[in-house]
Amino acid sequence: MQVEIITIGDELLIGQVVDTNSAWIGEQLNLIGLRVVQITSISDQREHILKALEQAAGRAEIILITGGLGPTSDDITKPTLSEYFNSPLVFHPEVLEEVERMFASRGLPVTKVNRKQAEVPENATVMPNHNGTAPGMWFEKDGRIYVSMPGVPFEMKGIMTNYVLPELAKRSTSQAIYHKTVLTQGLGESMVAARIEDWEKALPGNIKLAYLPQPGMVRLRLTGTGTDPDTVKKQVDEEAEKLIPLIGELIYGYNEDKLESIIGRLLKEKNATLSTAESCTGGYVAHLITSIAGSSDYYYGSIIAYHNNIKQSHLGVKETVLQDFGAVSREVVMAMAEGARKKLGTDYAISTSGIAGPDGGTPEKPVGTVWIAVASPSGIEAKLLHLGPNRMRTIQMAAFNVLNMLRKELIKKV
């Protein structure tokens, strides 16, 4: 069964809102063996919606629609669907009850405009929206399935997860699909490809490899297909295992693993604590670490020493070291890490100092030059990175590299 996604909203077409819904929907559908053949974005206009629905029916058996379901006059998806399916809007008391429940939880009255959310095309199957006021609607016509959902991502995801995906999975007769993503850090895409070339050529015909590079890492996604889910999973897992002798030192996790989560787990296992000292990353490393629930168990805090005066006064970096070697140097970044470790009283500390750009570079230290360091009970290690001229990319890659440097320190065998 093939799927088309239709996203509705002028805000998508003018770039005011990025369409993350389609990416998430496509990923979830793929996991149950359904393939998206087209994604169509259209404006909030009746004729555009009607034409998009008609054309989608010629390409796909399942049409998923997001957007345009609010209570205001510019949200025209529901009346247009009513026209397309030749089905008048009728009042659904259970929808109003859900709207009233949500407004009551916020201490707000239900307005006349919001009561309109309880009007739904007569031939639609209503899917409750526990995160908002606009319900999802399921239609069937001429052997096609149409599902209309709100455009707000967390509302759409709730309806998809609770109702749409389970129902589509029951009806799907497609082959089994299994993905496994190997997460690597330390080499670029082309160099990783060279290391695993022979392995890639020997992959079975039903397993495909995709390279998915992003700042600081390369993801290797293995996709297996077949008739039996357990067999496909076993095949993909076995192929992923073969990568360990080839690039094992680059692999830090699988699928949805995050470096910051892995580090948290390792620190908990060691009953150890962590602090950070940041210059060029400006707190981004601390942000990643504290994005993990429970990080207060092992993370003490950060000193963002953007100015050299703070490096001296709060981290104990000597003025002579700054003068002799410059702020972006092995000597300074090591002093920053050790200074944070002592100042905040932690077992481990990591630090960054670099030139994120676009200005500030020199022939000796061009934009993108970054030093990172890890201070541990056994000593201090530093590493030089050359990350290029893009400021945000440099910040992200520096953070990712220093976290992975810490991970490697934490898994060292004593």
Question: How far is Cα 328 from Cα 371, in angstroms, rounded to an integer?
Answer: 6
Q: Are residues 245 and 347 both part of a single domain?
A: no
Q: What is the pLDDT along the chain (414 residues), one digit of tens a residue?
A: 899 999 999 999 999 999 999 999 998 998 888 889 999 999 999 999 999 999 999 999 999 999 988 776 667 899 999 999 999 999 888 888 887 887 887 788 877 777 878 889 999 999 999 888 889 999 999 999 999 999 999 999 999 999 999 999 888 776 788 899 999 998 999 999 999 999 999 999 999 999 999 888 999 999 998 988 899 999 999 999 999 999 999 999 999 999 999 999 999 999 999 999 999 999 999 999 999 999 999 999 999 999 999 999 999 999 999 999 999 999 999 999 999 999 999 999 999 999 999 999 999 999 999 999 999 999 999 999 999 999 999 999 999 999 999 999 999 875
- Distance between CA 23 and CA 36 in Å, rounded? 10
Separation CA 81–CA 92 (nearest Å): 16
Same domain, 123 and 56: yes
User: Residue 99 is part of a domain; what is its CATH number?
Assistant: 3.40.980.10
Assign residue 352 the CATH number of its domain.
3.90.950.20
Amino acid at 89: L
Number of folded domains that form the chain: 3
Residue with token string 């495909």: 208
Choose the final residue of a domain: 125, 140, 171.
171
Whether residue 132 sits in one domain with residue 180: no
> Domain containing 220: what range?
176-254
Helical H runs in 123-258?
A: 153-159, 165-171, 189-195, 197-201, 229-241, 244-247
Radius of gyration of the chain (CA): 27
- Measured CA distances, 11 to 15, 38, 62 (Å): 6, 20, 25
